[in-house]
Chain A
C-alpha cells in the first residue's frame, strides 16, 4: 500500500449520543484503499448508526470522519452532496424507486448529475445491469422482482456514478442462502475489478468471513476487535468467541435489564403503600 496516498476513510474519536444515551463511544478506525472492511455486531451495537454517520445522513455528537480527504462533519449540504456523488450505498431493502422501471432507477443519478446524452446513459444502464447479471430486466418495475434481484439492481444503481467508496447495509438480510451468496460474490467481484473501497455492515458471520479483508467487531458502541478474518477467528477474547460462534450467553448477556427482577415486580406495590 502506498503510504503517501491518504486513506479513503479515517474515523477519529467518533461519539454519537441520542438524548443522552451513548450509541457510539469514541470509535477509531481506518479503511485502506481498495479493501473490504466488514463491520459486525449484534442489533443495537451502533452499526446502523455508524453507517448513517458515514453516509452523512446524520451528524456525530463529536469526533471526525475524514472521507476522500474531506472532513464529513464540517461539510455543508452542498459539500456532502459532492461527496455523495463519489460514494454509493446498497440499502437493506434495495430502496429502489417503485414508480420507475429498473432502467430508470439506474439512469436517475446519471440524468441528474451528468450532462451525458440519453444514448450514452442508455448504454451505461445496460453495462451496469450486465455487471449484476440482470440485463434482461431493464423494463420491469421493482415490484416484479425478487428480493435478491432488487438488491442487485440497487447495487447497479449505487455503482452508476462509478463511486470510489461503496457502503453495504446488511447485504444478506432477508435473502435466501443462494441469493445471499450471489450478493457476496458480486461484492467481491466489484471490489476486485473496480478496486472500490467497500464497507459492509452485517451480522451474518458466514458472509462476513467470506468477503472481508479486515473486520471490526462493535459492541456497545466500541470496537472490541479489529483484524483479518483469520485473526478474528483465532481470537481468544470471550466476547469475540461468543459472537463468532453465535452463543446465546456469554459476555453479551442474554438478559439486558439492569434492575433486579424481584424489585421490578414489587415496585408498584411498594409505591402504593
Chain B
C-alpha cells in the first residue's frame, strides 16, 4: 500500500488534507493508513478527504481504521470524506453495515470541488 498526504488550501471544504491510498489495505498495512490519518487530523484542517479510488482491496481492519478516524475527526471538528470507492471496497463497507456511516463522494474532484 502507498499513502501520500497533501495539504490543499481553498477547496470547496476550505483547508483540506487529501490522503491518497493505493494498493491493498490489509491487517499489516492499515497501521500505516492509521498514522497518516492521525497526522492529517492533527493538522486541524477543515476537512480530511481520503481518496480510495486506487485501493484494490480493503479488509475489516482498514474499515475499522477509517471508523476510528471518523470518531477522532468528529471529536476534533474535522469533516472526514471518503472519495472514489470502487465497488469492491464499497462491498466491504456494506458487509460491515457501515456504508451509511461515512460521508461519501464519487471522486476526490467532487469532494474538493476542484
Contacts and interface: CB of A to CB of B under 8 A. Distances in A.
**A and B: interacting chains:** yes
Interface of A: 110, 113-117, 119-121, 123-124, 127-128, 130-131, 161-162, 193-194
DSSP class of A's interface residues: helix, strand, loop or mixed? helix
B71 to A, nearest CB: 8
A120 B61 contact: yes
Contacts of B61: 110, 114, 116, 120, 124, 162
B65 interface: yes
B87 to A, nearest CB: 13
Nearest to B27: A114
Contact of B60 (A113, A115, A124): A124
B67 interface: yes
Nearest to A114: B27
Nearest to A120: B64
DSSP class of B's interface residues: helix, strand, loop or mixed? helix
A161 B64 CA distance: 12
Interface in B61-94: 61, 63-65, 67-68, 91, 94
B64 A115 contact: no
B95 interface: yes
Contacts of B64: 116, 120-121, 123-124, 127
Interface residues of B, number: 20
Contacts of B95: 131, 193-194
Interface in B38-69: 59-61, 63-65, 67-68
Contacts of A120: 30, 34, 61, 64-65, 68
Nearest to B58: A162
Given A161-B27, A193-B95, A119 B60 contact: no
Contacts of A117: 31, 34, 68
Contacts, number: 52
B114 interface: no
B97 interface: yes
Contacts of A119: 68
A114 B60 CA distance: 12
Contacts of A114: 27-28, 61
A181 to B, nearest CB: 21
Nearest to A194: B95
A123 B30 CA distance: 13
18 contacts: A114-B27, A116-B61, A117-B34, A119-B68, A120-B30, A124-B61, A124-B64, A127-B60, A127-B67, A128-B60, A130-B97, A131-B95, A161-B27, A162-B26, A162-B27, A162-B59, A162-B60, A193-B91
A131 B98 CA distance: 11
Nearest to B61: A116
Contacts of A194: 95
A124 B59 CA distance: 10
A117 B97 CA distance: 22
A33 to B, nearest CB: 15
A119 B70 CA distance: 12
A127 B96 contact: yes
A113 B98 CA distance: 25
Contacts of A123: 64, 67-68
Nearest to A116: B61
B53 to A, nearest CB: 22
A116 B27 contact: yes
Most B CB contacts (10 A, CB to CB) among A117, A124, A130, A131 go to: A124
Given A123-B67, A162-B59, A193-B91, A116 B97 contact: no
Given A161-B27, A162-B59, 13 more contacts: A110-B61, A115-B28, A115-B31, A117-B34, A119-B68, A120-B30, A120-B64, A123-B64, A130-B96, A131-B95, A162-B26, A162-B60, A162-B61
